[in-house]
């Protein structure tokens, strides 16, 4: 099982859509599932996912396997932060100064 925390316009895919409350979907998952597999299973179109995706609080990419993660945070395409310029997804080389 993995808890998928949805933000912004992605909240509509959870039962709780109130922005003052957590919009969380709990879903069955296997370690070989990718972040994108989980999003699709919830019904989220790939085109609505932003670049800010987090597995257990660590920046990740859509094709990353969830492994043993217990929490996935998904932000929509209209809530972009600067993470992609300053941090690399888990498993990719660090950015040189």
| Integer Cα distance of 22 and 54 in angstroms | 16
**The predicted structure's pLDDT at residue 20:** 81
Tokens in use for 77? 């395409």
**The predicted structure's pLDDT at residue 97:** 47
For residue 38, the SS3 value is helix
**The predicted structure's pLDDT at residue 93:** 58
Q: What is the pTM of this model?
A: 0.80
Fold topology of 2-86: Ubiquitin-like (UB roll) (3.10.20)
**The predicted structure's pLDDT at residue 75:** 92
pLDDT values of the chain reduced to their tens digit, one per residue, 97 residues? 999 999 989 999 998 877 788 899 999 999 999 999 999 999 999 999 988 899 998 889 999 999 888 899 999 988 876 555 555 566 665 555 4
Q: How far is CA 40 from the centre of its chain?
A: 11
């Amino acid at each position: 099982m993995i808890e998928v925390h949805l933000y912004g316009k992605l909240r509509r895919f959870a039962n709780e859509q109130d922005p003052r409350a957590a919009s969380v979907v709990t879903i069955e998952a296997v370690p070989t599932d990718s972040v994108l597999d989980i999003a699709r299973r919830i019904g989220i179109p790939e085109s609505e996912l932003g670049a800010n995706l987090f597995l257990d609080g660590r920046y990740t990419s859509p094709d990353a396997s969830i492994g043993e993660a217990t929490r996935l945070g998904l932000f929509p395409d209209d809530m972009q932060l600067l993470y992609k310029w300053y941090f690399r997804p888990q498993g990719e080389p660090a950015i040189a100064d």
